[in-house]
Amino acid sequence: MDISRRGLFHIGGKLLVVASVGATLEQIIGAEPPSDAYRMADHWWGMLIDIDKCIGCGSCVRACSQENNVPKGYFRTWVERYQVDENQQPTVDSPDGAMNGFAPLTRDDLKAFFVPKLCNHCADSPCVQVCPVGATFVSPDGVVLVDKEYCLGCRYCVQACPYGCRYLHPETDTVDKCTLCYHRITQGLTTACCENCPTQARVLVDFKNPQDPVHEFLRKNMVQVLKPYMATKAKVYYKDLDGSVR
Amino acid sequence: MFHDSGHLIRPALVLLAAVVIFLVIRAAVIPKDFGKYGHYRPAALALVRSHQIAYAGQETCVMCHDDQANARKAGKHAHVACEACHGPQAAHANDPSIKPKLPEVADLCRRCHEKDAAKPSGFPQVVTVEHSGGAKCNDCHQPHNPRM
Amino acid sequence: MMIPGVDGFMYPNEVELQWSLLIVLYPYITGLVAGAFILASLERVFKVEAVRPTYRLALLTALAFLLVAPLPLQLHLGHPERSFEMYLTPHTSSAMAMFGFVYLWYLTVVLLLEIWLEYRADIVRLSQTTKGATRLIYRMLTLGSQNVSTASRIIDDKIGYTVTVIGIPSAFLLHGYVGFIFGSIKANPWWSTPLMPIVFLFSAMVSGIAAVLLLYVASMKLKKMPIDMRCIDTIAKYLFYTFVIDYTLEMLDLIHRTYEADESFRSLDFMVHTRLMFSHVILQIFLGTLLPLALLASTQLWRFTEARRRVMYVTACCCTLVGIFAMRWNVVIGGQLFSKSFLGYTSYKVQFAAREGLLMAIALMILPFLIFVVLVKLLPPWTEQKSA
């Protein structure tokens, strides 16, 4: 490969890019959150999940686990596989939360599909309601978070969550759960699970952003939340969720 | 007048002293700014945000690896994030001398493409044993653009 | 992929139980406190003079158990050193946040004050007659006042009456809020019912009354003093009435559930008949409720000799205490054994020597009796009887 002028531009361009990448990443990956270009009041976060697109690969589970150092055996997100008979009775499995996907089904005569699950970041959250000290809360931009330096580890919130998305972290002895990758979304990135979903079955949405496709989507599509009778104002919407889903 | 009930002052005083001590301790120890946004410490927001990022995101990968990105764009894996297969690469992007470990191809491909009745029927899936007869997936398919 | 101890499907984070044996113990202990206090108030406020011999005993029982009550909670917390936060920033929407304040209120303004007022004359006398370290203790307990004139004692009596009157709803609050903690969790159909605080309260009263009766009989036997039959006959009568109400409430809950048969019913029904068979059907219902009810009912309907009645009461009370413990177990542990998807069950393996294990639970149950012995030595309940 001879070094022509074109080649020089090419290499020079790459060097420039590397330099700027480094600079940008220094900001993104550094331990301090950047000074606030991010305004909480401008955002109201949620998620959209399209059941028809989920292939049960478990990429989201792996990505979340790596991004957030989730302890083994516990899950901030997981995928369930449903097989539903004609009486709408489901058989459900979720081997290790679908961390390594699923072993193929042996029968194909039942209605079957995957359901990714995570914290629903309820606007009217029963887990926040029961915390005795204010260690878990709904942030001003709609994300339910845990203050791990304040949490007593009483686990009342774990009992109060209808969706089973909370657990006690075995190392910090405080309650832990999906943070909607708050450290990422407040810096313009998407969540680890949405980033790595190969079929875009999971999509982060911002209800306060007028350009967000979610507004059009909700106008045109049939959606559900999990356990709507709990009236938690869950903000994770599922398209094409079957009635048998628990 | 209080000759016979004077002793009641004493437990009352003990209680009052305890309450005062409690209020003093409370004022000293209660977290700063608690309640500013709601019933929690505002510092908790910064604490959560300070978590280190592990996945750099496609836009960052593409900054250097544009040839792979172009190959991908032309094929069916256009919307599959680089790190979905290659794992978290923020450390590599920050310091390219950290070499990412190449993924185990067969397991990777199977997780998405092994035939399963629960997968959407339109999604490309095969019974890999029948499909390849034991050969590795990337013997025939280029992962960035899998079309043969 | 089979997870040991799990049948069917559970959400991945549900497999491990969060609230352990110690959380079963806590409502049991506060229940004994509330029940013992209600028995004491029977005499003080409702003028049931027959139970007077157990009045002081009931107060000391309540105190002994109340002092131990926070311990299982502290041992359960991930960060007990942060528990003071409940006093700093109590979240008013959380029933649990109420605990610290209700506990302190009940301990100081109700129980300690009432005991002080009741025993004041004895404390002053003992501060003058004993020697050495005990004399110092009694002198501290007098809080500096040596006034035991008749007029002051009449005032003590009046204030004590008021304190007991305030104490009754306070005792209800102390234990009722625990019932509300469970009853208000809409996510858990085994717990979520408006009946929960009331069921907890009445079962607390049953256990507390039974505990005082047993402690009275044991104390009299140890001190070789005669047992006042009129007293324990009356206590048994009130125990019977309370038990009938308690049983009615629990049956109401059961019948309601079975009749409505909502989404959760099949899953819960299966759980009761399998994982909770021993603790619910055998221990709580048969041994813990039906047997004591039968024994107590027969003493109300037919005449038995004093000796027979004593045996029947003691048997009924022992079974009751076991049964009410089983009830707490069935609520707390039972509520975590089934999946909120109603598609599976997990199991609870009690550890032995761990922080929240069996050994610790046994120690925590023995501790109140040790404290009780110390309290009885310090503040003898039956000095009055001896002189009477």
Q: Give the residue from B86, B103, B120 where a domain finishes.
A: B103
CATH topology classification for C8-387: Formate dehydrogenase/DMSO reductase fold (1.20.1630)
Identify whether the C-beta of residue B100 lies closer than 8 Å to the C-beta of residue B87: yes
Answer whether A126 touches C (CB < 8 Å): yes
Which DSSP category does A25 fall into?
H
Q: What are phi and psi of C12, to 5 degrees?
A: -55, -35
- Which three-class secondary structure state does DSSP give residue C65? helix
Contact flag A102-B47 (C-beta cutoff 8 Å)? no
Measured between alpha carbons, how far is C234 from C240 in angstroms, rounded to an integer? 10
Tell whether B51 and B66 lie within a shared domain: yes
End-to-end CA distance of chain A: 60
State the DSSP code for A111.
E
CA–CA gap between residue A239 and residue A48 (Å, rounded) = 8
Indicate if B92 and B118 belong to the same structural domain: no
- The answer for A 74-103 residues in CB contact with B (under 8 A) is 81-83, 100-102
Q: Which two tokens stand for residue C15?
A: 């497999």
What is the rounded distance in angstroms from the CA atom of residue C86 to the CA atom of residue C57? 32
Helix, strand or coil, per DSSP, at residue A114: strand
Q: What is the pLDDT of residue C227?
A: 93
Structure confidence at residue A16 (pLDDT):
53
The string of pLDDT tens digits covering residues A173-214 is: 999 999 999 999 999 999 999 999 999 999 999 999 999 999
Task: Say yes or no: B114 and B93 in one domain.
Answer: no
Give the pLDDT confidence score for residue C144 in this predicted structure.
86
Among A102, A110, A199, beta carbon nearest to B116: A102
Residue of A nearest to C185 (CA): A160
* Interatomic CA distance for residues B29 and B23, integer angstroms: 10
> Is C91's Cβ below 8 Å from some Cβ in A?
yes
Residue pair C199/C192 in contact by the 8 Å Cβ criterion: no
Closest CA in chain B for residue C87 = B26
Measure the CA dihedral C82/C84/C86/C88, to 10°: -110
Please state, in angstroms and rounded to a whole number, the distance separating the CA atoms of residues C162 and B91.
70
Contact, A48 vs A217, CB < 8 A? Answer: yes
The DSSP string of B57-103 is -HHHHHHH-HHHHHHHHTSTTTTS-HHHHH---HHHHH-TTSPPPPP
Verify whether the Cβ–Cβ distance B123 to A190 is below 8 Å: no
A47's enclosing H/E stretch is strand A45-50
Is there a single domain that holds both residue B94 and residue B113?
A: no
Would A12 be classed as within a structural domain? Answer: no
Total structural domains in chain B?
2
Q: What is the 3-state secondary structure (H, E, C) of C232-258?
A: HHHHHHHHHHHHHHHHHHHHHHHHHHH
Distance to chain A for C38, nearest Cα, Å: 28
C348/C356 Cα distance (integer angstroms) = 12
Tell me whether residues A17 and B63 touch, CB distance under 8 A: yes
- Does position A34 have pLDDT exceeding 90, yes or no? no
Q: Which helix (H) or strand (E) holds B32?
A: none
Answer yes or no: do A140 and B37 touch at CB < 8 A. yes
Residue B90: both structure tokens together: 């923020």
The encoded tokens of residue A94 equal 């979720």
Residue A1 pLDDT > 50, yes or no?
no
- Of C278, C238, C117, C253, nearest in space to C193 by CA: C253
Q: Does B38 touch chain C (CB under 8 A)?
A: no
Which H or E element spans position A92? strand A90-93
Specify the DSSP element, H or E, that contains A136: strand A136-138
Whole-Å CA distances, B138 to A56, B141, B146, C87: 22, 5, 9, 62
Give the DSSP letter of residue A226. Answer: S
Task: Report the pLDDT value the prediction gives residue B114, as an integer from 0 to 100.
Answer: 94
- Residue B128's region, left for phi above 0, alpha for psi from -120 to 50, else beta, is alpha
| Residue A35: per-residue pLDDT | 56
Distances A195 to A24, B109, C203 between C-alpha atoms, Å = 19, 18, 53
Structural domain contains residue A17 = no
Contact of A166 with chain B, judged by CB distance below 8 Å, is answered with no
Q: How far is A228 from chain B (nearest CA, A)?
A: 25
Number of continuous H segments (helices) and E segments (strands) in chain C: 16, 2
Residue B4 confidence (pLDDT): 74
Residues of A with Cβ-Cβ distance to C82 under 8 angstroms: 133, 150-152
Spatial contact of C352 and C359, defined as CB atoms under 8 Å apart? yes
Residue A1 to chain C, least CA–CA distance (Å): 53
State whether residue A226 sits within 8 Å of chain C by CB. no
Helix axes of C132-141 and C113-129: crossing angle, nearest 10 degrees? 140
Edge-first strand order for the sheet with A111-118 is: A90-93, A77-84, A111-118
Chain C contact present for A85, CB below 8 A: no
Q: By the 8 A CB rule, do C69 and C373 touch? A: no
Under-50 pLDDT residues of chain B: none
In terms of domains, do B83 and B44 share one? yes
The 10 Å Cβ neighbour count of residue A196 is 29
Chain B residues in contact with C91 by the CB 8 A cut-off are: 39
As to burial, measured by CB atoms within 10 angstroms (0-12 exposed, 13-18 middle, 19+ buried), residue C387 is exposed
Terminal CA-to-CA distance of chain B, rounded, Å?
A: 105
B10 exposure class (CB count in 10 Å sphere: 0-12, 13-18, 19+): middle
- Measuring CA to CA, which residue among A42, A39, A38, A50 is closest to residue A236? A50
Task: Give the position of tokens 């007048």.
Answer: B1
Chain A residues touching residue C185 (CB < 8 angstroms): 126, 130, 159-160
Q: How far apart are CA B148 and CA A219, in angstroms?
A: 40
Q: Residue C347: CB partners within 8 Å, gap ≥ 6?
A: C5, C6, C275, C337
In chain A, residues with a C-beta closer than 8 Å to the C-beta of B43 are: 147, 149
- Residue A210 belongs to domain spanning: 40-78+118-123+179-239
A223 CB burial (10 A radius; 0-12, 13-18, 19+): middle
User: Could you list the pLDDT tens digit for every one of the 388 residues in chain C?
Assistant: 578 889 999 999 999 999 999 999 999 999 999 999 999 999 889 989 999 999 999 999 999 999 999 999 999 999 999 999 999 999 999 999 988 899 999 999 999 999 999 999 999 999 999 988 889 999 999 888 888 889 989 999 999 999 999 999 999 999 999 999 999 999 999 999 999 999 999 999 999 999 999 999 999 999 899 999 999 999 999 999 999 999 999 999 999 999 999 999 999 999 999 999 999 999 999 999 999 999 999 999 999 999 999 999 999 999 999 999 999 999 999 999 999 999 999 999 999 999 999 999 999 999 999 999 999 999 998 854 444 3
* Domain contains B137: yes
ipTM for the whole complex: 0.92
A159–C contact, CB cutoff 8 A: yes
Distance CA C64, CA C370 (A): 8
The range of the structural domain enclosing residue B114 comes to 104-148
Same domain, B136 and B121: yes
Q: Is residue B70 part of a domain?
A: yes
CATH number at residue A201: 3.30.70.20
Chain A residues whose CB is inside 8 A of the C91 CB are 131-134
Backbone angles phi, psi at C351, to 5 degrees: -80, 160
Residue with tokens 């503040």: C379
| Inside any domain, residue A29 | no
- Bridge partners, residue A83, by sequence: A91, A112
Amino acid at C314: V
pLDDT of residue B103: 81
Place of tokens 């361009």: A13
For A82-87, what is the mean pLDDT? 96
- Which residues does chain C have within 8 Å of residue A173's beta carbon, measured at their own beta carbons? 78-79
Q: H or E segment at A118?
A: strand A111-118
Q: Are B6 and C147 an interchain contact pair (Cβ–Cβ within 8 Å)?
A: yes
CB contacts, 8 Å: A82 with chain B:
118
Residues 1-30 of B with CB under 8 A from A: none
Q: What's the distance, CA C330 to chain centroid?
A: 16
Could you tell me whether strands A236-239 and A45-50 are parallel, antiparallel, or unpaired per DSSP bridges? parallel
Q: How far is it, in rounded angstroms, from Cα C364 to Cα C319?
A: 20
- C22: which residues sit within 8 A by CB, 6+ positions away? C72, C73, C75, C76, C356, C360, C361, C364
Query: Could you tell me if B84 and B109 lie in one domain?
Result: no
Sign of CA dihedral B84, A99, A164, C29: negative
In chain C, which residues have their Cβ closer than 8 Å to the Cβ of A230?
A: 186-187
Kindly state the average pLDDT of the residues A116-131.
Answer: 97
pLDDT of residue B101: 83
B112 and B74 within one domain: no
Rg (CA), chain C: 22
H or E segment at C231? helix C229-260
Q: What are the structure tokens assigned to A200, written together?
A: 């875009």
Q: How many distinct structural domains can be found in chain A?
A: 1
Among the listed residues B61, C82, C357, the one whose alpha carbon sits nearest the alpha carbon of residue A153:
C82
